[in-house]
Structure 1
Amino acid sequence: MSQVFLARADVRGALLGLAAGLVIALGLPSLPGVGAGLSLRTLTVCAIYTLAAAGVGVLYGRLGLVSIMQIGLVAVGGWAALRIYHATHLPFEVVMILAAVVTAVVGVLVGLPALRLSGLSLAIVTLMVAGALEVLVTYAGFPNGGDGFLGRVSGGTLAVIMPRPALGQSDDDFFRYVAVAVVVVLALLRWLLMARPGRTWAAIRQGEAGAVSLGVNTVAHRLFALAVTSAATGVAGALLAASSGILDPASFKAQQSVLLFATVLIGGTFSLLGAVLGGLLFYGLPQLLSTIGLDGNLVFVVLGLGLVQAITTSQAGIAGQLGGLWRRLRQPRRPRRREVAA
């Protein structure tokens, strides 16, 4: 019975957290100094990269899989969204879903040969995949309204910009659009983590041999996790494409996947709050350093120190530390019992 109450409490806590995050996100554009210009656009991209960070966190935090190809999958999602829109001119919501499906298929196909690997071996393989995707995107470029499979314009023809969704034309409205999309995807991921798939993933992480002895098909469950996280990353790519209407291959270097993995470790891989913090650190911190006149590459030094601190002192990251603090604050203080004289 106590486990049922704990499960219900976890569900209520998750729902309250997602609702609070949505309310805060929808209200951010109205705050002074945030609702216009570079700061709002920076927060929009941070929110988009939260989905890629969530994919990293689910794979590592629940399955122990070190995936360092998420930025490459973001590029796949953006490429698919641009190509599908220029070929069909479908509503953006349909384009986004189709881009998520394409990215899920690509993620499964490129990750299938590495499913039996783990640890450093898997990290090296996925990093090589990220490098291969970087080369492909650099060679092919992103679709910009041209003909053919690649969709590239030639000669002196002007590139065609993909418009923003109808509900997100202005910067304020697009930020709210992104916030709703991110919360919906995070809610679906949270539901999966609390349902049977999440419990099975946790069992695989605890011990693959034990999970196999219980009849768990570890390969199928890993493929499902890879498909789900790749689809979420594909949504991020589609939203990123919609934010500017066109994408630059220089934004999807393989080293960015390493940086994203580091920020997720610092933020926390065992909760979706860690993914939010990871998105802020991944894109927001370099922008902040550049704004105050420092070299954006200093982010590698800052995050390197943060990664050492996270690994040595708090495996749960910043989100875990905040969660522990919140639980201590909510825990009622028990009054001291008075000693009764015999």
Structure 2
Amino acid sequence: MISFLARRNTRVGAIGLLVGLALAVVIPFLPGIGQGSGLFALTACAIYSLAALAAGILYGRLGLVSLMQIALVAVGGWVTLRLYYATDLPFELVAVAAAVVTALIGTLLSLPALKLSGLSLAIVTLMIAGGIQVVITATGFPNGGTGFFGRLPAGTVPDTMPRPTWGASDDAYFRYVAVVVAVVFLAVWWLLSSRVGRAWAAIRQGEAGAITLGIPVTRYRILALLLTSFITGLSGALLAANTGVLDSTGTTFSAQQSVLLFATVLIGGTFSLSGAVIGGIFFYGVPVLLQAWGVSGDLVFIILGLGTIQAITTNPIGIAGSLAALARRWRTPRRASRAREVTA
């Protein structure tokens, strides 16, 4: 049943992605949205949808609960800033290199927990996220200084990483991010429709059954860790370019934020690519919207807590799955009506 829902919602998600890419071209021209803080928030939502996608792949396709995705976003951002200040490479190469380094680090850190699942894996990955938070808080993010850590002396105005040439302005960078996100999502859609995706679905159904079918479970799990860590590292690179400088206190990339991201993924829908987009909006957009309304952003913990309970108990397919089901129910009577008209 789960694999059927995953395949069906993946097809729906691909259509949604194409619609989203078309909207990305139009949004910057909308009054009140395509400028200033509103467009910045939408760009951040799109970036965090990549991290949500990674968490959704691990849980929705393999049943693995990873609570360190935001920590890996920090790793990707750190490596991006360090490479930018240390080299003259264009942003695209820096971003890919940062994603590769993050993929290696994320996979190596996860190897001891490779045989774990459920609550055990969640606890281990949460501890890893806490450890990364401690390291980031102690070292800070590179800001133009010399040495391995690239830190300027205290009291010095930090350097700011510029955006890529094709995304210098706010609206241009939004489109830049939208294209990157769409390419990644479409690549994942293709992968989930391939033999790899079918193998992951079999592992999700039951590891013993997958082994019986001759599927090398460990190999496919490592592949999933590499892919999701790569995607998360790319998210960190895009975030570093969006802000130019990252928070050195570590609060933005705390272990608590990783838990919050996983909750938004459950609410959005782990079996659908569109659910990752909804997760990114809930993770970053909802707190920003609450603050714009004069409400404390901490209220998001109550909202997402209730939403997570509802997703776990009554709606495992999430918002994206529910919307797809509503669309199918709406289309079915129309098709039946047209069929009767043709018969008549």
State the TM bucket, normalised to the shorter chain. Answer: over 0.9
Partner residue of 1:186? 185
Partner residue of 2:68? 69
Partner residue of 1:215? 214
Give the deviation of 1:310 after TM superposition.
1.3
Aligned Cα root-mean-square deviation (Å)? 1.7
Q: Label 1:175 to 1:110 Cα distance change in 2 as closer, same or farther (>3 A).
A: same
Give the deviation of 1:49 after TM superposition.
0.1
What is the distance in 1 between the residues matched to 2:305 and 2:12? 32
Give the deviation of 1:89 after TM superposition.
2.3
Partner residue of 2:231? 232
Long gaps (5+) in structure 2: 1-6
| SS of the residue 1:147 aligns to | coil
What is the distance in 1 between the residues matched to 2:198 and 2:311? 25
Relative to structure 2, which stretch is displaced further, 63-72 or 302-311? 302-311
Q: Deviations over 1:34-62 (max 9, x none)?
A: 11111110111000000000000000000
**For residue 267 of structure 1, what is the amino acid of its counterpart?**
G
**For residue 77 of structure 2, what is the amino acid of its counterpart?**
G
Identity value in percent: 60
Q: Does 1:285 align with 2:298?
A: no
What is the distance in 2 between the residues matched to 1:303 and 1:231? 27
Following superposition of structure 1 onto structure 2, how do residues 156-175 of structure 1 map, counting pairs within 5 Å?
156-175=155-174
Q: Label 1:131 to 1:145 Cα distance change in 2 as closer, same or farther (>3 A).
A: same
**For residue 105 of structure 2, what is the amino acid of its counterpart?**
V
Q: Does 1:86 align with 2:89?
A: no
Partner residue of 1:51? 50
Following superposition of structure 1 onto structure 2, how do residues 34-49 of structure 1 map, counting pairs within 5 Å?
34-49=33-48
What is the distance in 1 between the residues matched to 2:12 and 2:304? 30
Give the deviation of 1:13 after TM superposition.
5.3
Partner residue of 1:323? 324
| SS of the residue 2:336 aligns to | coil
Give the deviation of 1:250 after TM superposition.
2.3
Partner residue of 2:136? 137
Give the deviation of 1:16 after TM superposition.
3.4
Relative to structure 2, which stretch is displaced further, 207-216 or 268-277? 207-216
Long gaps (5+) in structure 1: 1-6, 338-342
Give the deviation of 1:120 after TM superposition.
0.3
Q: When the two structures are aligned, how many residues end up with a matched partner? A: 330
The answer to whether the Cα contact below 8 Å between 2:13 and 2:273 also exists between their aligned partners in 1 is: no
Following superposition of structure 1 onto structure 2, how do residues 146-157 of structure 1 map, counting pairs within 5 Å?
146-157=145-156
1:333 to 331, 336, 339: 336
Partner residue of 2:4? none
Partner residue of 1:261? 262
TM-score w.r.t. structure 2 length? 0.92
| SS of the residue 1:66 aligns to | coil
Partner residue of 1:303? 304
Partner residue of 1:205? 204
| SS of the residue 1:73 aligns to | helix
Moved over 6 A (4+): 9-12
What is the distance in 2 between the residues matched to 1:334 and 1:12? 25
Q: Deviations over 1:123-170 (max 9, x none)?
A: 000000000000011111101111111111125543211110001111
| SS of the residue 2:142 aligns to | coil
Give the deviation of 1:330 after TM superposition.
2.1
What is the distance in 1 between the residues matched to 2:143 and 2:290? 32
What is the distance in 2 between the residues matched to 1:15 and 1:290? 32
**Structure showing greater relative contact order (alpha-carbon pairs closer than 8 Å, 6 or more residues apart):** 2
Q: Deviations over 1:160-211 (max 9, x none)?
A: 1111000111111011111011101111111111111111000001010111
Relative to structure 2, which stretch is displaced further, 119-128 or 207-216? 207-216
